[in-house]
Amino acid sequence: MERTTLISPAEIEKQLDFCRSVARLTARWEEKPLAFVDTYGCQQNEADSERLRGFLDKMGFGFTQNEEEARIIVINTCAIREHAEQRVFGNVGALVHVKRRHPDTLICLCGCMAQRPQVAKKIRESYRHVDLVFGPQALWKFPEMVHSLLTRRGRTFSVEDEPGSIAEGIPVVRQDKIRAWVSIMYGCNNFCTYCIVPYVRGRERSRKPGDILAEVRRLVEEGYKDITLLGQNVNSYGRDLEEPMDFADLLEQVNAIPGDFLIRFMTSHPKDATQKLFETMARCEKVAPVLHLPFQAGNDRILKVMNRRHTRADYLEKIKALKALIPDIVLTSDVIVGFPGETAEEFEDTLRVLEEVRFDALFTFIYSPRPGTPAAEMDDPMPREEKLANFNRLTALQDRISEEKHAAYVGKTVRCLLDGLSDDERYDLTARTPGNRLVRVVGDPSALGQFQNVKITGANKWSLFGELV
């Protein structure tokens, strides 16, 4: 296995020097330097945006949600489905007016779309108001790129196809005070045939356990109560480390950090989810009783063409083993409807998995061809209306199951983390069960950030309702 490229502390120090140089420039501006960071896609991107904000903060920027006020606009994009890309193109296109009104505003596009050569080309040719384009592999050089834009002008593109590296010591400005993301690894080696992620995020590489543990320890000291370990496939954590260790070992070590907090993780790949992992989850009291385990499709032929490297039976056996160890485990999954060549009969197999496993929630997607992936070249004869009809059947079935599973909570008292203020005026707070189900709660907002017993008084297919005990 190839060893991961580490960006040296001296390189990061150099980037922080660029931050200080930019801060000296922005201090001379007449208006207060403000930044607008817009994030699309998954938690990995949220975590990256927290690092972009960390750098921007060191460059002297405050933050705004209003693009008219911003002197730098950063759009952190997602390439997972065509729809996600179209939204970004729409929003970036509209920024041409902002640029006309404020020619000095820097417009930056980064994230997974930026790493796609077709996208970079389109931005270069048709979105000339965009000043800076850089992919996830170049994020650690953001200060240098901003510095060069402010001092030399001209557009900058940093979108080389690189296998990826790890940079420690980048500052972060987190959005939340209670829940935090901690990336434990980057990239993906799996090349599921429909998926763009391995092309834009590079190869799998794991952060050193010491760096991860130190970050979690710091977060717990700062009062964070709910920590999610992030990676595209956390189950293959550690394979590239000099002293290999596996994800279950890492969980055990995070669990040993003193403090009252919950540990979650995502995403797990069924092919690498082991009995050892399930046993570790069952034993470690801080590890939340919840597993997000995408199965994508219930039919073995489709799974094979997807290059998932697990069968329907493998999947169901793993779920059975997990339920035997943790009977109240909350299970969630991802499903793709309408993969090229999926027949009506093959789709029925997906519905059967839902009936059998009874997931608490499901993230469902209609297949979207991604140029450059093998599936985009496959024959796809099923008309869109038929895919839509299948999609609707899938969500209707899941809605029924979610509603039944939520109804079973009513009357119970559950220790929940009070994690936010409710936007629904009949409730004061939002809370999460250990299994991450949303609860709207009547109670005193001063309890925010605490674990408290909540009596569940009602439920629907989306959430639970309750009151503080």
Binding residues for ligand SF4, rule: CB under 6 A, are 188, 190-192, 195, 197-198, 232-233, 269
Q: Are 376 and 369 in contact (CB under 8 A)?
A: yes
Q: Are 310 and 268 in contact (CB under 8 A)?
A: no
Give dist(CA 440, CA 421) in Å, integer. 9
How many residues in the shown chain lie near ligand SAH by CB under 6 A?
17
DSSP labels, 336-357 = EE--TT--HHHHHHHHHHHHHH
Task: Label residues 199-211 b or e (16+ Cβ within 10 Å = b).
Answer: bbbbbbbbbbbee
Q: Return the residues of window 290-309 that contact ligand SAH according to CB under 6 A.
A: 294, 296
Q: How many C-beta neighbours within 10 Å does residue 218 have? A: 12
- Minimum CB separation of residue 112 from ligand F3S in Å reads 3
- Minimum CB separation of residue 192 from ligand SAH in Å reads 7
Question: Nearer Cβ to ligand SAH, position 304 or 455?
Answer: 304
Under rule CB under 6 A, residue 367 binds ligand SAH: yes
Choose the contact partner of 370 out of ligand SF4, ligand F3S, ligand SAH, none; CB within 5 to 8 A by kind.
ligand SAH
Give dist(CA 374, CA 266) in Å, integer. 25
Question: Nearer Cβ to ligand SAH, position 142 or 199?
Answer: 199
Closest CA to 330 of 409, 219, 247: 409
Query: Which residues are at the interface with ligand F3S (CB under 6 A)?
Result: 41-42, 44-45, 78-80, 112, 196-197, 200-201
Under rule CB under 6 A, residue 228 binds ligand SAH: no
**C-alpha angle with apex 354: 353 to 359, nearest 5 degrees?**
125
Choose the contact partner of 183 out of ligand SF4, ligand SAH, ligand F3S, none; CB within 5 to 8 A by kind.
none
- Minimum CB separation of residue 193 from ligand SF4 in Å reads 8
* Cβ-Cβ contacts under 8 Å for 210 (sequence gap 6 or more): none
Under rule CB under 6 A, residue 45 binds ligand SAH: no
- Minimum CB separation of residue 266 from ligand F3S in Å reads 11
Choose the contact partner of 44 out of ligand SAH, ligand SF4, ligand F3S, none; CB within 5 to 8 A by kind.
ligand F3S
Question: Nearer Cβ to ligand SF4, position 192 or 219?
Answer: 192
Q: How many C-beta neighbours within 10 Å does residue 239 have? A: 17
Under rule CB under 6 A, residue 368 binds ligand SAH: yes
Give dist(CA 284, CA 229) in Å, integer. 15
Q: Return the residues of window 321-350 that contact ligand SAH according to CB under 6 A.
A: 334, 336
Question: Nearer Cβ to ligand F3S, position 29 or 363?
Answer: 363
- Minimum CB separation of residue 197 from ligand SF4 in Å reads 4
Give dist(CA 242, CA 373) in Å, integer. 31
DSSP labels, 166-197 = EE-------S-SSEEEEE-EE------TT--H
Choose the contact partner of 191 out of ligand SAH, ligand SF4, ligand F3S, none; CB within 5 to 8 A by kind.
ligand SF4
End-to-end CA distance of the chain: 53
List of residues contacting ligand SAH (CB under 6 A): 80-81, 194-195, 197, 232-233, 267, 269, 294, 296, 334, 336, 365, 367-368, 370
